[in-house]
Amino acid sequence: MESSDPPTTRLPHLPERIRGLERLAYNLWWSWHRQAWELFRAIDLRAWRENEENPVRMLASLPAEVLESAAADSDFLALYDSVIDHFDANVTSRTGWFASQCPGATSLLAYFSAEYAFHSSLPLYAGGLGVLAGDYIKELSDLAVPAVAVGLIYSRGYLTQKIRDDGRQEDEEQNLDRTYDPISAVLDSQGRPVVVEVPLFDPPVHVAVWRADVGRVPVYLLDTDLEVNQPWDRAIAHHLYATNPEQRLRQEIVLGIGGMRVLDALGIRPAAIHINEGHPALAFIEWLCQWSEQGLNFVDAVARVRAGSIFTTHTPVAAGTDVFPFAMMEKYFAPTHARLSADCRRVFDLGVNPDDPAAGFNMTVFALRMAGRSNAVSRRHGEVAREMWHSVWPEKKVDEVPISAITNGVHLSTWIDPLGLQPLFDRHLGPAWREEEDRTGIWKPVAKIPDSALWRAHLNLKASLFDEINERARRRWQGNHVRAESVVAFGALFDPEIFTIGFARRFTSYKRPDLILLDLDRLKRLLLDSWHPVQIVFAGKAHPSDVEGQRLIQKIFRLAQENEFGGRLAFVEDYDQELAMHIVRGVDVWLNNPLPPLEASGTSGMKAAVNGVPNLSILDGWWIEGYNGHNGWAFGADTPADDRTKSDAEAIYRLLEEEIVPLYYRRSDDGIPHDFVAFMKAAIESVAPAFSTRRMAKEYATGFYAPILGCGSP
């Protein structure tokens, strides 16, 4: 059982009057509550920025006199008292939306994910899946859903990206310093670190447990990088998404099997288990074993797991799922024979893909068979998933395959600009928008926000983006002596007066980052137009094993180095959550052109839209539901599959040339592009309520969680 004693103070030099800053800094609740964020900025803005907006590191580094000064400042103390009162009341309360809707709930949800993006001060993520999981945990806290979360802590993270002068992506190897991460070692009742054995390995792998607090939700992070473990075992949690297939399986064993054993060691008995993608699916095997050890036969144990399990698939192609050879599975799972009172072959059969039975144990197929409730992440993805996995239920018609759809959303308080847009919404929508963000009517007053006010806020965000791009380019020039043309390719010549397109996401071939480069002569005419110029900022990482994705980065970077593009193409390296916030808020239009139907949902365009950045997107994923003809631009609905590349590129060029760019530069006497601002307003009004995690989490809670957690459907 986890110790309930308060931890020894980690910031002993804090004055007693403001000691609550320690509790606040170690709970990521502060990161999505604007007043809490402003509280840390108010102590020392320069230190806040120098410490990369990490309050733990900032507080640890500040001289005592600065903290003493804050503790004696009446204005600061008034803000401090207000924030701490709100924080303590919020995180300790178990009342809230879920309790009001489901008053009989008596049990707990456990959420499993391989990655989480809560804030840049806690790097546990690679990309969109982690951002989605991080947003979702924040919303579970906001709605007071009784939940814990489980993941891994990676001693070397995902990858730190450097772009060489020749455009090649370099993956820097580094050990992450967790000294100032907002995490705490989980201790037992005697004050000793909790260490759990995962017995499927020989010798057993020992797992330490860290805890991150995200509002009301504790997140337990498993760590194998311990001296007691063998070097091969210590490396299980070195890198997110290990590239070696066997190490990848071992990583998923630790996440799923180890995660369940950690919860058991802490005395946590969830009634519902929700796994985010197939990586944690082995948690269901451990749950099967636990039910079997309570005396249930195999069939009944499977039924009990199905009754409490939820699986969200994000994969729109069968080839994107994890599949492990049966011999490799047998190597690790032979010890579970006795625990299950059944031949492991019966478990392995649950992971056989009928379309390719010899391939091995398919994590997605296993999760679909074990979960009583499965869902895709957009309506279109639901159609694709039901067709893709029809063979798992051959007796059913395609539209009867039990995979529903809950479209993804984004956490508005995290992603909407806190300095300009949130105060603007407070003034014109009223503060109720924060509590009722999923109600369509609350956003209608956006239309009445003065165009000048919204445009001014947007220009400030655009300037902030270019400041960030220039600072990153300056650091590369100063610290690594890259060539001048590389500094230009990093965006050093970008002009905030010029119409700017953003394309930032994981770099892989199906997302087609080079589609807009198909006709270079036509693109140059757009970029270098004397009256209506255009510039494009690209960002994103390619997985270390994705050779084609790395080639696409190199292609774009080399073009951006060329004089003939006039410094109007840029690739900004080391795309992370912090850079993402600058880009989705600061560009003028968000470009999205994956190859349909391979966009399961996508959320980056949602983040852009809620900041007043309209989408120029292919009709796939969430945009099929989001596009209304007034909130952005769409293409590709009727494009023949055999002619898609050329036709889609033509549609992008035409929309830019004939509609979007002229609209942006059509200014009234006051210098404001009022017709373009109308699209900005329509993007906010339509996307914010329908594609928030508030709406998304309520759908999961009412449709999936409530029937399991002891209250029936509210």
Q: What whole-number distance in Å separates Cα of residue 597 and Cα of residue 585?
A: 27
Q: pLDDT grade, residue 5 (50/70/90)?
A: very low
- Please state which of the four CATH numbers 3.40.50.2000, 2.10.69.10, 3.40.50.2300, 3.90.1280.10 is assigned to the domain occupying 423-691: 3.40.50.2000
The whole-number average pLDDT for the span 222-247 is 91
Look up tokens 């994969």; give the residue. 315
pLDDT by residue (tens digit) across 157-206?
667 888 999 989 987 766 777 889 999 999 998 899 999 999 889 899 99
- Asked if 86 and 35 count as a contact pair (C-beta separation under 8 A), the reply is yes
Q: Is the pLDDT of residue 347 over 70?
A: yes
Q: What whole-number distance in Å separates Cα of residue 619 and Cα of residue 588?
A: 20
Q: pLDDT grade, residue 128 (50/70/90)?
A: confident
Q: Is the pLDDT of residue 242 over 90?
A: no
User: How far is residue 123 from each of residues 1, 15, 160, 249, 407, measured CA to CA in Å?
Assistant: 27, 29, 11, 22, 25
pLDDT at 168: 92
Pick the more confident residue, 209 or 156. 209
pLDDT at 316: 86
What the block records as the tokens of 154 is 């990676």
What the block records as the tokens of 237 is 């949690």
Q: What whole-number distance in Å separates Cα of residue 533 and Cα of residue 500?
A: 9
pLDDT by residue (tens digit) across 23-32?
999 999 999 9
Beta strands in 563-687 (DSSP E): 569-572, 589-592, 615-618, 632-635
HSE-up of 602 (CA within 13 Å, CB side)?
32
Q: Is the pLDDT of residue 342 over 90?
A: no
Query: What fold is seen in the domain 97-408+698-708?
Result: Rossmann fold (3.40.50)
Pick the more confident residue, 444 or 243. 444
pLDDT at 543: 85
pLDDT by residue (tens digit) across 374-416?
999 999 999 999 999 999 999 999 999 999 999 999 999 999 9
pLDDT by residue (tens digit) across 576-596?
899 999 999 999 999 999 999
Pick the more confident residue, 2 or 153. 153
Q: What whole-number distance in Å separates Cα of residue 81 and Cα of residue 587?
A: 37
pLDDT at 4: 46
CA nearest 559: which of 652, 473, 465, 489? 489
Ordered DSSP codes for 260-272: HHHHHHTT---SE
Pick the more confident residue, 155 or 591. 591
Is the backbone peptide bond immediately before 597 cis, with ω within 30 degrees of 0?
yes
Q: Is the pLDDT of residue 450 over 80?
A: yes
The whole-number average pLDDT for the span 624-652 is 91
pLDDT by residue (tens digit) across 316-327?
877 779 999 999
H helices of 143-191, in order, are none
pLDDT at 413: 96
pLDDT at 1: 55
Please provide the average confidence, as pLDDT, over all residues in the chain.
Answer: 93
State the pairing for strand pair 499-504/534-539: parallel
For the chain, give the longest Cα–Cα distance: 80
CA nearest 2: which of 222, 262, 374, 381? 262
SS (H, E, C) 191-234: CCECEEEECCCCCCEEEEEEEEEECCEEEEEEECCCCCCCHHHH
Q: What is the pTM of this model?
A: 0.95
Q: Is the pLDDT of residue 694 over 60?
A: yes
pLDDT by residue (tens digit) across 491-529?
999 999 999 999 999 999 999 999 999 999 999 999 999
Q: What whole-number distance in Å separates Cα of residue 547 and Cα of residue 286?
A: 36
pLDDT at 7: 53
Look up tokens 């492990």; give the residue. 324
Q: What whole-number distance in Å separates Cα of residue 427 and Cα of residue 379?
A: 35
Residue 312 in 3-state DSSP? strand
The whole-number average pLDDT for the span 468-487 is 89
Pick the more confident residue, 640 or 132. 132
Contact residues for 155 (Cβ-Cβ < 8 A; gap 6+): 175, 176, 178, 223, 225, 237, 238
Could you give the percent of the chain with pLDDT greater than 90? Answer: 80
- Asked if 548 and 508 count as a contact pair (C-beta separation under 8 A), the reply is yes
State the pairing for strand pair 184-185/205-214: antiparallel
The whole-number average pLDDT for the span 5-16 is 76
The length of the chain, given as a count of residues: 714
pLDDT at 401: 97
Same fold, 97-408+698-708 and 423-691: yes
pLDDT at 714: 38
Q: What whole-number distance in Å separates Cα of residue 444 and Cα of residue 261?
A: 48
Domain boundaries, the chain: 16-92, 97-408+698-708, 423-691
pLDDT at 160: 81
pLDDT by residue (tens digit) across 111-123?
999 999 999 888 8
Contact residues for 283 (Cβ-Cβ < 8 A; gap 6+): 112, 150, 255, 256, 257, 259, 260, 273, 275
* Sign of the dihedral defined by the CA atoms of residues 562, 565, 566, 571, in that order: negative
Look up tokens 């993270």; give the residue. 157
